[in-house]
Structure 1
Amino acid sequence: MIQYMTKSKFKLLMECPTKLYYADKQEYSNKKREDSFLKALAEGGYQVEALAQCYYPNGILIPSDNNEEAVSLTKEYLDNEQVTLFQAAIQHEGYFIRTDILIKNKNHLKLIEVKAKSINKEQHLKIEKKDGFINSEWKPYIADVAFQKLVIQKAYPAYSISSFLMLVDKDSICPTDGLNQKFLIKRDSNGRVKVEKSMSLSADDLSVHILKEINTDLYIEKIWGECDENGVTFKDLFNQYCLHYFENKKIKPVLTKECAICQFKTDQFDLDSGLKSGFKECWQEILNYNDRDFDEPNVLELWNYRKKDQCLKLGLIKLKDFHEDDLSVKGDGKPGISASQRQWLQITKAKEKDSNFWIDIENLQSELSSWIYPLHFIDFETAMLPIPFKKGAHPYQGIAFQFSHHILDENGKVEHRGQFLNANPGVDPTIDFIRALKMELSSDAGTIFRYSDHENTYLNMILKQLDSLSLLETERNELSAFIKTITKSTNDSHDKWYGARCMVDLLELVKRYYYDPVMKGSNSIKKVLPAILQRSKFLQNKYGRAIYGVENEIPSKNYENYQWIIMKNGEVKDPYTLLPPLNKEATNEEIEFLFEDEHLKEGGAATIAYAKMQCMEMSEFEREDIRKALLKYCELDTLAMVMIVEAWIDMLQKQYGD
Structure 2
Amino acid sequence: MRYLTKSRFKMALECPTKLYYTKKPKEYADSSIDDPFMEALAKGGFQVGELAKLYYPDGVEVRGLDFDKTWEETQALLKNENVIIYEAAIKYKNLFIRIDVLKKTGKKIELIEAKSKSFSGSTFATDVWQKAKLKKNEYQVASDWKPYIFDVAFQTYVLNLAFPEFTVIPFLMCADKDLVASSDGLNQKFLIGKDEKSRTKITIMGKTDLSSLGTPILTAVDVSEVVSKIHNNTEESEIYGELNFKDAVAFFADHYERDVRIVSEVDKACKGCEFRTDDKKLKNGFNECWKAHGLSAEELNKTFVFDMWYGPKVLNDKIFVEDLDENDFEVKENEPGVDGLNRSQRQWLQMDKIIRDDGSEHKDQDGINREFSTYTFPLHFIDFETSMVAIPFNKGRRPYEQMAFQFSHHEMDKDGKYHHAGEWISTTPGEFPNFNFVRALKKQLENDNGTIFRYSNHENTVLSQIIVQLQKSLEPDREELISWIKTITKNNDKVGGWKGDRCMVDLCEVVKKFYYHPETHGSNSIKYVLPAVLKMQGKDPDPYGSLPAIFRDYDASTIDFIMKNDDSGDGGEQLSNGGAAMMAYALMQFTEMSDEERRLIKEALLRYCKLDTEAMVWIYQYLRGTNDDK
TM bucket (normalised to shorter chain) is: over 0.9
With the length of structure 1 as denominator, give the TM-score of the two structures: 0.89
**Equivalent position to 1:304, from 301, 304, 310:** 310
Q: For 1:208 and 1:525, how far apart are their aligned partners in 2?
A: 42
Residue 378 (structure 1) aligned with residue 385 (structure 2): no
> One-letter code of the match for 1:506?
L
Instruction: Name the structure 1 match of 2:331.
Output: 329
After the TM superposition, which residues 7-18 of structure 1 pair with which residues of structure 2 at under 5 Å, given as runs? 7-18=6-17
Instruction: Name the structure 2 match of 1:553.
Output: none
Deviation (angstroms), 1:29 = 1.0
Instruction: Name the structure 2 match of 1:645.
Output: 620
> One-letter code of the match for 1:536?
Q
* 1:172/1:394 contact within 8 Å kept: yes
* 2:54/2:209 contact within 8 Å kept: no
**Equivalent position to 1:609, from 584, 587, 590:** 584
Instruction: Name the structure 1 match of 2:524.
Output: 523
**Equivalent position to 2:469, from 455, 465, 471:** 465
Deviation (angstroms), 1:362 = 2.2
Q: For 1:598 and 1:286, how far apart are their aligned partners in 2?
A: 34
> One-letter code of the match for 1:315?
D
Instruction: Name the structure 2 match of 1:142.
Output: 149
Instruction: Name the structure 2 match of 1:233.
Output: 244
SS of residue in 2 equivalent to 1:643:
helix
**Equivalent position to 2:561, from 589, 593, 605:** 593
Q: For 1:234 and 1:327, how far apart are their aligned partners in 2?
A: 38
Deviation (angstroms), 1:66 = 3.1
SS of residue in 2 equivalent to 1:89:
strand
After the TM superposition, which residues 212-611 of structure 1 pair with which residues of structure 2 at under 5 Å, given as runs? 212-224=219-231, 225=233, 226=236, 228=238, 231-267=242-278, 270-271=279-280, 274-290=281-297, 292-305=298-311, 307-308=312-313, 310-311=314-315, 314-333=316-335, 334-472=338-476, 475-491=477-493, 494-537=495-538, 540=539, 565=540, 572=541, 574-594=542-562, 595-596=564-565, 597-611=572-586
Instruction: Name the structure 1 match of 2:64.
Output: 64
* 2:3/2:253 contact within 8 Å kept: no
Q: For 2:64 and 2:226, how far apart are their aligned partners in 1?
A: 30
Q: Structure 1 230/97 Cα, relative in aligned 2: closer, same or farther at 3 Å? A: closer
1:517-552 CA-to-partner distances (Å, cap 9, x unmatched) read 100111111011001111125xx3xxxxxxxxxxxx
> One-letter code of the match for 2:4?
M
Q: Structure 1 646/380 Cα, relative in aligned 2: closer, same or farther at 3 Å? A: same
> One-letter code of the match for 1:502?
C
SS of residue in 2 equivalent to 1:243:
helix
SS of residue in 2 equivalent to 1:102:
strand
Deviation (angstroms), 1:342 = 1.0
Instruction: Name the structure 1 match of 2:76.
Output: 76
Name the count of aligned residue pairs.
Answer: 607
SS of residue in 2 equivalent to 1:287:
coil
Residue 45 (structure 1) aligned with residue 51 (structure 2): no
Q: Could you say what the CA RMSD is over the residues aligned between the two structures, in angstroms?
A: 1.9
SS of residue in 1 equivalent to 2:491:
coil
With the length of structure 2 as denominator, give the TM-score of the two structures: 0.93
* 1:227/1:233 contact within 8 Å kept: no
* 1:266/1:276 contact within 8 Å kept: no
Q: Structure 1 204/159 Cα, relative in aligned 2: closer, same or farther at 3 Å? A: closer
> One-letter code of the match for 1:405?
H
SS of residue in 1 equivalent to 2:270:
helix
Extract unaligned runs of 5+ from structure 1: 541-564, 566-571, 654-658
Q: For 2:480 and 2:415, how far apart are their aligned partners in 1?
A: 32
* Structure having greater relative contact order (Cα 8 Å, sep ≥ 6): 2
1:553-596 CA-to-partner distances (Å, cap 9, x unmatched) read xxxxxxxxxxxx3xxxxxx4x22333333223422101222215
> One-letter code of the match for 2:412?
L
Q: For 1:448 and 1:641, how far apart are their aligned partners in 2?
A: 11
> One-letter code of the match for 1:467?
Q
Q: Structure 1 637/213 Cα, relative in aligned 2: closer, same or farther at 3 Å? A: same
Deviation (angstroms), 1:77 = 0.3
Q: For 1:182 and 1:289, how far apart are their aligned partners in 2?
A: 55
Query: Sequence identity, in percent?
Result: 42
Q: Structure 1 599/327 Cα, relative in aligned 2: closer, same or farther at 3 Å? A: farther
**Equivalent position to 1:159, from 163, 166, 170:** 166
Residue 98 (structure 1) aligned with residue 98 (structure 2): yes
* 1:331/1:337 contact within 8 Å kept: no
Runs of 4+ in 1 over 4 A off after TM superposition: 227-231
Extract unaligned runs of 5+ from structure 2: 134-138, 566-571
Q: Structure 1 522/575 Cα, relative in aligned 2: closer, same or farther at 3 Å? A: same
* 2:330/2:344 contact within 8 Å kept: yes
> One-letter code of the match for 1:433?
F
Residue 192 (structure 1) aligned with residue 199 (structure 2): yes
Instruction: Name the structure 2 match of 1:623.
Output: 598
* 2:181/2:214 contact within 8 Å kept: no
> One-letter code of the match for 1:586?
Y
Q: For 1:75 and 1:647, how far apart are their aligned partners in 2?
A: 67
Q: For 1:62 and 1:293, how far apart are their aligned partners in 2?
A: 51
* 1:95/1:151 contact within 8 Å kept: yes
Q: Structure 1 287/223 Cα, relative in aligned 2: closer, same or farther at 3 Å? A: farther
> One-letter code of the match for 2:485?
I
1:602-636 CA-to-partner distances (Å, cap 9, x unmatched) read 32211111111111122222222221111111111
Q: Which piece of structure 1 moves more, 447-456 or 102-111?
A: 102-111
Q: Structure 1 259/379 Cα, relative in aligned 2: closer, same or farther at 3 Å? A: same
Q: For 2:269 and 2:17, how far apart are their aligned partners in 1?
A: 12
After the TM superposition, which residues 173-212 of structure 1 pair with which residues of structure 2 at under 5 Å, given as runs? 173-212=180-219
* 1:319/1:350 contact within 8 Å kept: yes
Q: Structure 1 601/239 Cα, relative in aligned 2: closer, same or farther at 3 Å? A: farther
SS of residue in 1 equivalent to 2:293:
helix
Deviation (angstroms), 1:173 = 1.0
Q: For 1:213 and 1:635, how far apart are their aligned partners in 2?
A: 43
Instruction: Name the structure 2 match of 1:561.
Output: none
* 1:457/1:490 contact within 8 Å kept: no
SS of residue in 2 equivalent to 1:204:
helix
SS of residue in 1 equivalent to 2:114:
strand
> One-letter code of the match for 1:76?
A
Q: For 2:5 and 2:525, how far apart are their aligned partners in 1?
A: 35
Q: Structure 1 136/87 Cα, relative in aligned 2: closer, same or farther at 3 Å? A: same
Deviation (angstroms), 1:503 = 0.2
